[in-house]
Amino acid sequence: MNCTEFEREWQELDDPSLFSPPMEDHMRNCARCAALVREMNLLRWEARQLAEQEQPPARLWANIRSELSREGLVQEAGARSRLLDALSFGWLPRLPMGVAYASVFFLALVGVEHIRDRVSPPQAPSVAQSPAPPEIALEQTRAAAEPAREEETVIQRVIEKAPPEKRQIYLTRWNQLNNSSDVLRSFVAAHPDDRQAILQLSEIQDQQRRFLESVMRWELEEF
């Protein structure tokens, strides 16, 4: 399966988290598609958090309005500008929740596509994605030797939102993986030519990523 086939199958899934075995295989071997899935899961989770959040206080919009009015950028009440209408977000609560979700997803999708196009050149669709050779895997692991701060922040937020009975399990296992990763990272720093140690570090980082994906999905689906 190549990246194009993966994306096509992914779009056709009823549930975007229910991957077929060939898709799972592809994700294991393609960092780009795996990252795309992670990004989308994160966006889904963020979208849910967004929907659960309360609207900003009315005084915030009032302050913005008075500030814009003072700057002469908008007219006072009675002749509200489109900009102000848009800023007030008054339309958001009136939309059905489904449409709101759809809007967030669409924007997120556009964002991901945009970022992806900027980060990596488009791939020829006919070329099958082959597993990364060991040298590339080693380089990727070395490059990822710095802790993924963004993932750390995300998982902490997801764990904080989880029900209390699950929070402890998640936290314990996440810390366990982090500790292992730290120990191996130190070892690799001291033994940069030890291929097995580097690959083992790569395994632990994969486990961290899988754990992050699973926890986000479970919490997203209200398990």
Residues that bind other proteins (CB under 8 A): 15, 18-22, 24-25, 28, 163, 166, 169, 173, 176-177, 180, 183-184, 187, 194, 196-197, 199-200, 203-204, 206-207, 210-211, 214, 218, 221-223
Helices assigned H by DSSP within 123-163 = 134-143, 149-161
- In the complex, what is the shortest distance from the CB of residue 21 to other proteins, in angstroms, rounded to a whole number? 3
- In the complex, what is the shortest distance from the CB of residue 163 to other proteins, in angstroms, rounded to a whole number? 7
Pairwise CA distance, residues 213 & 217, whole Å: 6
Q: Which is nearer to other proteins, 3 or 219 (CB)?
A: 219
Q: Which is nearer to other proteins, 63 or 186 (CB)?
A: 186
Structure-token match 């020829």, residue found: 124
- In the complex, what is the shortest distance from the CB of residue 101 to other proteins, in angstroms, rounded to a whole number? 17
Pairwise CA distance, residues 185 & 141, whole Å: 10
Q: Which is nearer to other proteins, 20 or 66 (CB)?
A: 20
- In the complex, what is the shortest distance from the CB of residue 199 to other proteins, in angstroms, rounded to a whole number? 8
Pairwise CA distance, residues 217 & 130, whole Å: 27
Q: Which is nearer to other proteins, 24 or 71 (CB)?
A: 24
Q: Which is nearer to other proteins, 130 or 196 (CB)?
A: 196
Q: Which is nearer to other proteins, 116 or 217 (CB)?
A: 217
Pairwise CA distance, residues 117 & 14, whole Å: 26
- In the complex, what is the shortest distance from the CB of residue 42 to other proteins, in angstroms, rounded to a whole number? 18
Asked whether the beta carbons of 111 and 39 are under 8 A apart, the reply is no
What SS3 string covers 102-114?
A: HHHHHHHHHHHHH
- In the complex, what is the shortest distance from the CB of residue 74 to other proteins, in angstroms, rounded to a whole number? 44
What SS3 string covers 1-43?
A: CCHHHHHHHHHHCCCCCCCCHHHHHHHHHCHHHHHHHHHHHHH
What number of other Cβ atoms are within 10 A of residue 27's Cβ?
A: 23
Q: Which of 144, 140, 138 is nearest to 192 (CA)?
A: 138
**Helix axis angle, 31-52 relative to 195-220, nearest 10°?**
30
